[in-house]
């Protein structure tokens, strides 16, 4: 069984689901995406996403009208394989259509581009053999980039999960993975800032995100990772 957290963007709450790999993801209609498909190449038994991304998938799947193979979706930041502030680590990005024809990928791209649900669709020239779509939200902490928004105590959601995961992997325990920026996450963020000569304001802004994500991405499953992988010894 997997633990699947879903951030409810409507109510600002984090829901916890216990599901088998073969179960449909929460809020997915007609079983068009299972937990296993969402987990993709990740070995993690703990996953997260939000309702906006699930609704966007429902909309795209309805518009396309046929199965959409998922090559890459969820990934934890210490597993790597994506850029340091990738939306895949937030559980709201999908690389799809790798086994389809170019004409079929063009159709998926067009459907996603027409949708108001997806907030970013990668230009096709950047993804020659797949279609990248994500449901990112918030104002990026670094104005020149498309990364994560600033976080502070009281915030909730998928980006808090990413921050907690990175902090835990680097040895700054945030009190677990719950998607809630509480006192323990605040203390962990400040400890990371002190060690890395950053302003210790407990706000995960541009400088802190840049340092935190760069240090954690692809680092592998450290002794302090929260929610160990299935193949952990």
C-alpha distances in Å from residue 201, one per residue of 1, 145, 151, 176, 187: 38, 22, 11, 21, 10
Nearest CA-CA partner of 198 in 224, 165, 172: 172
Residue 192 is assigned to a structural domain of this protein: no
For the stretch 2-33, pLDDT in tens is: 999 999 999 999 999 999 999 999 999 999 99
Residue 218 is assigned to a structural domain of this protein: no
Are 107 and 120 within 8 A, CB to CB? no
- Mean pLDDT, the chain, whole residue set: 96
Give residue 229's pLDDT: 87
Cα–Cα distance for residue pair 120/184, rounded to 1 Å: 32
Residue 204 is assigned to a structural domain of this protein: no
By residue range, what is the domain housing residue 89?
A: 2-134
Cα–Cα distance for residue pair 40/35, rounded to 1 Å: 9
Q: Give the SS3 label for residue 39.
A: helix
Residue 185 is assigned to a structural domain of this protein: no
Residue 167 is assigned to a structural domain of this protein: no
Cα–Cα distance for residue pair 182/177, rounded to 1 Å: 11
Q: 2: which 2 tokens?
A: 């997997």
Residue 9 is assigned to a structural domain of this protein: yes
Work out how many domains the chain is built from and give that number: 1
Residue 10 is assigned to a structural domain of this protein: yes
Residue 35 is assigned to a structural domain of this protein: yes
C-alpha distances in Å from residue 222, one per residue of 79, 142, 210: 10, 28, 20
Q: 154: which 2 tokens?
A: 């009281």
Q: With 50 as the cut, is the pLDDT of residue 233 above it?
A: no
Q: With 60 as the cut, is the pLDDT of residue 232 above it?
A: no
Mean of pLDDT values over 130-143: 96
pTM value? 0.96
Are 160 and 185 within 8 A, CB to CB? yes
For the stretch 173-194, pLDDT in tens is: 999 999 999 999 999 999 999 9
For the domain that residue 41 is a member of, what is the CATH number? 3.30.1380
């Amino acid at each position: 069984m997997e633990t699947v957290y879903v951030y409810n963007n409507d109510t600002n709450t984090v829901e916890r689901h216990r599901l088998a790999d073969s179960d449909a993801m929460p809020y997915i209609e007609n079983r068009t995406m299972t937990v296993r498909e969402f987990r993709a190449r990740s070995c993690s038994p703990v996953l997260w996403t939000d309702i906006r991304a699930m609704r966007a998938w429902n909309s795209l799947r309805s518009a396309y009208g046929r199965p959409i193979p998922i090559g890459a979706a969820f990934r934890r930041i210490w597993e790597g394989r994506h850029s340091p502030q990738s939306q895949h680590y937030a559980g709201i990005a999908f690389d799809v259509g790798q086994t389809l024809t170019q004409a079929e990928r063009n159709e998926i791209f067009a459907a996603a581009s027409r949708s108001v649900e997806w907030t970013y669709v990668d230009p096709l020239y950047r993804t020659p053999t797949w279609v990248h779509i994500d449901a990112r939200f918030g104002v990026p902490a670094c104005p020149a980039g498309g990364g994560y928004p600033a976080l502070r105590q009281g915030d909730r959601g998928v980006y808090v999960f990413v921050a907690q995961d990175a902090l835990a992997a680097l040895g700054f325990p945030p009190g677990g993975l719950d998607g809630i920026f509480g006192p323990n996450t605040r203390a962990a963020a400040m400890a990371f800032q002190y060690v890395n000569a950053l302003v210790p304001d407990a706000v995960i802004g541009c400088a802190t995100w840049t340092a935190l994500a760069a240090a954690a991405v692809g680092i592998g499953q450290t002794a302090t990772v929260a929610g160990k992988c299935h193949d952990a010894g």
